Every structure is written in C-alpha cells, then in structure tokens.
Amino acid sequence: MQKIVNTGTNNPVFMLDEIDKLGLKGFSGNPESAFLEVLDPEQNNSFEDIYYGPNFEFDLSNVFFVTTANETDTIMSALKDRMEIIKIRPYTTEEKLQIAKLFLIPKELKECGLTTENFAQKHIAVQPPIFSDESLNRIILAYTKEDGVRNLEKNINAILRRIAKTVKTATTSKSQTAIEKALQKIPTIVTPDFVDACLKNQIKSKSIGFTGEKI
C-alpha cells in the first residue's frame, strides 16, 4: 500500500512481479487472500490493509494492476479467475544480445567500477572493456539456458568482476612490473576465448533457467 500511496495518484499502473510465488513457503500470513480482494472490482473500493489498521480504507478501484509469473500452476484458481492471462514468447538470441548491450553491460560496468570516470580517478590508461557480439552469443548459447536474461546478467557480472580484480591489482601493486603485467591482462575487447577462460568452471548449456513462457 505504501508504494501506491507514494505515487500521489489514485489511478496508477502498478506492477506485481512473480505473483506465482505468493503461495510458496517463506511468505508470512496469507497474501493470496489479500490479493483476492485487491483484484476484485466488487471489493477493492474499500480495501483495508492490516498494517494501517481497521477502518482505514483504500480505494483501489482505479488502480490498473499488471502481474507477472513464470507459471500459472501455483496460482490459486480463485485468483487466476480475476486475471486476464497473456502469454509472452521467450526472448530470441538477438533480443538477448541487444538487451545485454543496451542495459545489462552498462549496468554491470558501473556496478564493478569499470567506467571511464573511475579509471580517470585512478589514473589508469585503459578503457572499459567492450563485449563483442561473438562473446555475447557464446555466453547466451553456451552458458545459459533460459527464456529471460537473469543468468546472462550473472555471467556478464562474473566476467567483469574478474576484470575488476585485475584492475585492482594494477592500482594497488607497488611493483611496476606487477602493474604492467596486470594492465596487459585487462582486455580491450571481451572475446569468446576470454569468456571461456572466465566461465570454464561452468558446464556449458547446463545453467539453470526457466524454459517455459513468461506470463
């Protein structure tokens, strides 16, 4: 409820991610029952949140709820009856590649401190590594088996953390020889061979991932 209140409007579009996990072990109380009321147009004009106490009603009738799920089998039937289910096809390899280039890699470069600004602050004469299309396809086809991009992002992070470790050696070593060796190990372009070297402990094409449609 706090998130809806924070929008400052009575008709926001509200995303509920992975609603299929509501009934799984680990959730306290009975969240599915609460969502039965939240998604029921006959009841949600006077919804009471237990954290705000009784007699404190919220009008959710104008809120547009969008939910996501990996599967529908774990969603209780009464809750499914209140939904319009739209099945979305998995990402193609090309779509995953573009998502990685436009979103995942910039995010992970920043997360690992491998940005131009960070290098400039540390006075390192290197540029952020660039992933070739071939290297991204190697990760996608050989080291992930999923319809989404979760494992793809994890593998990109693992590769960049390895590079970040080398950068740290180059910035903290007192030996000029060690610094030069470390700098030589920092790739300008991430190649398929470099991907294999970083992810060699994984079994190709055996990464755990969802293989159905996104709901």
97 and 76 in one domain?
no
Query: Residue 46 maps to which CATH number?
Result: 3.40.50.300
* Residue 211 pLDDT level (bands cut at 50, 70, 90): very low
Domain assignment present for residue 52? The answer is yes
At 209 the pLDDT is: 42
With a CB cutoff of 8 Å and minimum separation 6, the contacts of 170 are 124, 179, 182, 183, 186
Count of domains forming the chain:
2
* Residue 49 pLDDT level (bands cut at 50, 70, 90): confident
Domain assignment present for residue 214? The answer is no
At 101 the pLDDT is: 98
Domain assignment present for residue 121? The answer is yes
* 186-196 confidence digits (pLDDT tens): 888 999 999 99
* 18-42 confidence digits (pLDDT tens): 888 876 544 455 677 778 888 888 8
Instruction: Supply the mean pLDDT for the chain.
Output: 83
Inter-CA distances, 186 with 15, 124, 125, 195, Å: 40, 11, 11, 13
Domain assignment present for residue 86? The answer is no
Does the pTM exceed 0.75?
Answer: no
43 and 137 in one domain?
no
185 and 106 in one domain?
yes
- The boundaries of the domain holding residue 72 are 2-80
Q: What is the DSSP string of 48-103?
A: E-TTT-TT-EE--TT-EEEE--S-STTS-HHHHTTS----BPPPPHHHHHHHIIII
73 and 147 in one domain?
no
